[in-house]
Each structure stands twice: as C-alpha cells, then as structure tokens.
Amino acid sequence: MCGIVGYIGEKSAVDILIEGLSMLEYRGYDSAGVAVYDNGALDVRKKKGRLDMLRQLLEKEPVQGTMGIGHTRWATHGAPSDENSHPHTNGAGTIAVVHNGIIENYSRLKEYLGAKGYSFRSQTDTEVLAHLIDHYYMGDLLSAVQDALRHVEGSYAICVVSKDHPGEIIAARKDSPLVLGSGQGENFVASDVPALLKHTRDVYFLEDYEVARVTREGIDIFDRYGIPVEREVFHVEWDVQAAERGGYPHFMLKEIHEEPKALQDTLSPRINAQGDLNIEGLGLEEEAVRAVRRIVIVACGTASYAGQVGKYVFEKSLRIPVEVDLASEYRYRDPVVQEGDLFLVISQSGETADTLAAMRLAKARGARILAITNVVGSTISREADAVMYTWAGPEIAVASTKAFTTQLLCIELLALHMARIRGSMEQAQWQALFAAVQAIPAKVEAMLEAEDTVKRCAHRHSNVSDAYFLGRNLDYPIAMEGSLKLKEISYIHSEAFAAGELKHGPIALIEEGTLVLAIATQKELYEKMASNIKEVKARGAHVLAMCPGDAALILDLADEVIELEDTQALLTPLISVIPAQLLAYFCSVERGYDVDKPRNLAKSVTVE
Ligand code: G6P
C-alpha cells in the first residue's frame, strides 16, 4: 500500500517521479504528491484523487529540479484530502517525508512534540515523523532520521529530503518494502521494482531497520546501529514491456491473456531435458518429503484460495492432512507448530503484512518455511527457508489473475513431486496427471477462446445486484475466488457457498431471477450439483453453469452455459477460474468502473 519513488540525478526529477508513481498506482491511488528541490527550496505539490489530478496541478504550478520524492497514497490515518496527502513537511517546510506503513505510537509522539511547540496540519501519522526528524536535526539529515526512527513503533518505508541537503535522499524501512535503484550519475528509490524498470534493473533491497543515503554518485546502506552494510546488487530480469499495458485496455485483461505463457514459464524450469519432473533446491528431497506429517498453508485474499485448492490437491494425492488458514487469523490464534509440519506460505507480492507476520511466527516456533511467491527479492522470498517462484512476471492489476493460476500450478507440481516420493499415487495415475499438467498452458489458451461468450454473459447480467457462486470439492475454492473477483472490481454483491451448504441457510436468499453461477467440474459430483441446481431453480434462480461439455445433467438444467475445457479432476481449478476472471472483468467494464484500480483496494497490502 502506498507507492514511493525517489530520484536524484541530472534529469528532471518530477517527470521521473510521476512516471514511477504511475507504475505504482496499484499500491494506492486516493491522493498523490511530490517534493522537488529547486534552487534552495523544497517545492511540494500534492492533491487528493488519482495521479491525473496531481498531473493537472503540476501543469498549473510546475516544479523544476533534479532531486525529489513522490508518493501515491492508500489512506490509513486521515481521510484522503489535499492536506493528508504526502509529502509531509516540518513547520518550516525544510524537510519533506513520504511514508508507507503505520506509525503505531504516533499519538504519543504527537503529544510529546506538541508539548515542545510543534503544530500539526494533517490527521496523518506521517506528519509526526517530519516533525520528529526536525526535532532531532542538528545539521546531519542521516543522523536525524536515524535518531527519529529509534523512537518509532510500527511499520515504515520512508524517503526524506531536506532543502539543506540537496545532494541526498535518506531512505529507510521496517516491515514495508523499499528498493534502491542504481544508475550512472543518478540513483533511485521505489516501493517496488516496476517503478524503476525504465531506468535501471540493478537494485539493492533494503532490509528491516536499515537506512540508506542515496546521492548522485552512490548508495550507502547502514544497519540499525549505523554501521555500513555491504549489499550485493541484484539484477532484475523483468523487462519494461512486462509492466506496460501493451495495447490492452486494462492490465487485468492483458494479464488474463498472459496466463498461458505465465503457466508455461512456471512449468518449463521444473521439467528436465528428459521430460521428467525435476524440483530441486526446496529442501524437499526424499527424506524431508517422507518426514512430512501435515501441511499448513497460510495466505491472504486470492492467494488463500490457491491454498484452499491446495488442501484438496495435497490431501487427495498425498493422503496427509492439510490445514489452510488466513494469515490474519493464524498470526493471532497461538497456532500449534508440530514436528513434521511443512509450512507453505503463498503470496504474489511476497510483502503482505499479515502473511509475513504469520510466517515469522511459524518460523519462530520452529517451522520450516516454503514460500510460493512471484517477486524475487521480496521480503517473504528472503526470509523463507526455501522459495518456489511463480514465473508470472509483474502483475499490475489489483485483481490477481495470472499470479493465482501460477500459484495453483506450483501446488500441483509440488503435489506430484511429493506423491512420487511417498508412493501415494499409482504410477499410471501419476503419469496421467503429469501429462495433463504439461497440457495446462494449451488448455488455458483454448479456454480464453470463450472470451466472447463470457462477454455476452456479462452484458446480460452486469446489472444484477447480487450473484451467488456454488461449487463442491475443488469447485468450491474457485467459487470463492470467482465471487471475490466479481465483488472487488464490479462491486456486485456476491457470495460463494459450498453447494451442500445451500439448504442450511443460503437458499433463503434465492428468489425470482437471482443469478446463480454453478461451477461443476467434478464428474462424481455432477448428480449432487444437479440436485442443487434444481433446488435453486425451483425457487426462481437463473442458473449460469460453468462445466465441461460432458456434464449432460448440468447442461440440461442450466439456463446458460460456459463450456469448460476438459482436464484431470485435480487440475480443473486452473481451467474453471478463467471464465470467472473474465466474467468479473467484463462486468466491471460494462458497469463503467476502473477495472485495474477498484475503489478502496490496493494490490500490495503492507499494513495490517
Ligand atoms: C490484496 C490484493 C489481492 C491479493 C492479496 C494477497 O488484497 O488485492 O489480489 O490476493 O492482497 O496478496 P499477496 O501479494 O500476498 O498474494
């Protein structure tokens, strides 16, 4: 949440800051601002609303200079307003700060500073930091930031500039990501790699409690005690095009269309020259796999539904118990970590605050952590004991699509790997599943051909006020994911139910014309789903079914059908989620919403 960019070099800072912020808008977009050093002063421009509002302000009131910081906000403390936008400054306007995170002890600090005569203009926790740095400032900006941060509790990624230090940006982090980009005669700071890709792919990842001094000539990193740290430069492989819309009207549609390639890129490195499954380097060699007694999966949002799919896949193929928990619940329920647990963390960004905290808790209790993540260098990737990357490339749209399907693929590959070692699947069954996994990218490609059909469905139904998704077994997590997608970007009220639970309450919601989306891919459960469809139809529901062409029972009953590509039972989530993603997308477009930046949401949730 919140995007930060900093630039120091020879070029016009404001252009680089605005361009960087536009790549980070997915982190928050309720206000934006910049502070640029120009001729002995810091010029601050900030505005409530999308980045375009700031652009318009800058046209009227331009700023010049070659050093500055910028911010795009997702409000926590203080409603979105011009005043609450970042950067925040000290009273004299000589120090400016942008911040991502939450200063938890800000009221106490505010009281302390208030007693010393400081006055406040905003409701934010960040403004306190600007005054606190001022309070400690004795002529050295780096020391002032270090001193101030010693008194701060909570999470932060910050950039600080001062009119008295035109040659440096001070950056620091704790529990919120910050990347330092290295250039020739210019250097950069950003919350996330996409903001830097146009300028450099050589980056340093700042660690918790570290503070950096970024000048035109170089980057110096110091640990929490002020001792210089040697950090190896990391070369990012993502290319610039991957973080651009490339002719698509929205990132979300582009990312849905990238799914076949993302899946292939995730699959290929795990197949060796002999065409065999080859998963190495995860600490899951024979002995370790045999020692697993339970799998515990923790994640948030869409990634947690990948975890729910994992429960069905691992239990079925490995015959060991699997627990799936939301990270925000896990971290506060005094969880039991046992010998023989395999602890799986799933996170696209690798930065989600709750997921990170849950992982740290499990680790502190002795669990060995395997992370499935998309972002190389992310905090979770660095702190986990082992990482299985989804090679989906940058995912920019807030609604997760290709990250989800590649997470599912990693789960399937892990299950195959472990099942072979444990001998928990028959050889022929294993071979068939492995072959089917390799066919998945092509099946997903074929599934994308249903785009026009889905678009027509969206056109017919985008005006509904409620939609209910039903599914059993592996279709249940996809019902939940489909429902989440629909509500987050089209704002249609939507819920998902395990179809067997209908009669225990949810069926009371069904009335004439209610839209029910029934996902039915599990052949042995077609009859059960057919009964559920009959039950809702008898109460007036309009049923849109998503099922393979052989599901005659379902096809006969449904009012409309989106036909799914056929595949092995354990792999169906990779197929059935595609039309669910497209449906949410087209409903949002039909309703005229900003698909990539849905209201109130942010892609990377780095605060609790
Ligand atoms: C946010 C995003 C979701 C995502 C969730 C978890 O809510 O909007 O799309 O699923 O965070 O994010 P992670 O990066 O940990 O997968």
Q: Give the per-residue pLDDT at 74.
A: 87
Dist. CA 348 → ligand 1 center (Å)? 7
* 457 a catalytic residue: no
- Find the 603 Cα to ligand 1 centroid distance in Å: 6
Q: For 435-446, how does the pLDDT look when each residue is reduced to its tens digit (9 = 90+)?
A: 999 999 999 999
Q: What is the pLDDT of residue 27?
A: 81
Q: Give the pLDDT score at 240.
A: 72
Mean pLDDT of 136-161: 97
Q: Catalytic annotation on 2?
A: yes
What does the pLDDT read at residue 3? 93
Site to substitute for ligand 1 among 2, 298, 302, 379, most atoms within 8 A of C-beta = 302
| Residue 606 pLDDT | 75
1, pLDDT greater than 80? no
Which range among 141-155, 455-469, 534-548, 593-607 shows the weakest confidence by mean pLDDT?
593-607
Burial 457-480 (b: 16+ CB within 10 A, else e): bbeebbebeebbbbbbbbbbbbbb
**Distance of CA 26 to CAs 21, 140, 184, 394, 407, Å?**
9, 34, 28, 12, 20
Ligand 1 geometric centre to CA of 551 (Å): 33
Instruction: Taking residues 156-171, report their average pLDDT.
Output: 97
Q: Is the pLDDT of residue 120 over 90?
A: yes
Ligand 1, residue 355: give the atom nearest the CA.
15
Q: Which of 106-115, 292-301, 316-325, 504-513 is least confident?
A: 504-513
Q: Which amino acid is at 421?
A: I
**Residue 526: pLDDT band with limits 50, 70, 90:** very high
Give 171-197 pLDDT, tens digit per residue: 999 989 999 999 999 999 999 998 999
Asked whether the predicted pLDDT for residue 241 surpasses 90, the reply is no
How far away, in angstroms, is 241 Cα from ligand 1 center? 23
With a 6 Å cutoff on the Cβ, whether 282 touches ligand 1 is no
Q: Which amino acid is at 225?
A: Y
Residue that is written with structure tokens 């947690």 in the block = 304
The reply to whether ligand 1 has any atom less than 6 angstroms from the CB of 598 is: no
Cβ–Cβ under 8 Å, residues 499 and 526: no
How do residues 224-234 score in pLDDT, each as one tens digit?
999 999 999 99
- What's the topology of domain 447-593? Rossmann fold (3.40.50)
Neighbours of 504 (CB within 10 A): 10
DSSP helix/strand/coil, 284 = coil
* pLDDT digits 0-9 by tens, 44-69: 999 999 999 999 999 999 999 999 99
For the Cβ of 304 lying below 6 angstroms from any atom of ligand 1, the answer is no
Ligand 1 centre to CA of 266 (Å) is 19
What's the pLDDT score for residue 233? 94
CA-angle at 120, arms to 119 and 126, nearest 5°? 130
Average pLDDT over residues 253-267: 97
pLDDT single digits (tens) 357-378: 999 999 999 999 999 999 998 9
pLDDT of residue 355: 97
Give me the pLDDT at residue 238, please: 78
pLDDT given at position 600: 82
Residue range 3-241, CATH number: 3.60.20.10
The percent of residues above 70 in pLDDT, for the chain, comes to: 100
Considering the segment(s) 247-438 as one domain, its CATH architecture is 3-Layer(aba) Sandwich (3.40)
Say yes or no to pLDDT of 425 above 90.
Answer: yes
507-525 pLDDT, tens per residue?
A: 999 999 999 999 999 999 9
- Record the pTM: 0.86
Selected residue with higher pLDDT from 530 and 242: 530
Let me know if the fold of 247-438 is the same as that of 447-593: yes
Among the atoms of ligand 1, which is closest to the Cα of residue 400? 9
Which of 192, 255, 348, 410 most suits a substitution to test ligand 1, by most atoms within 8 Å of the C-beta? Answer: 348
Mean pLDDT of the chain: 95
Q: Where are the domains of the chain?
A: 3-241, 247-438, 447-593
CA dist 190 and 165 (Å) reads: 20
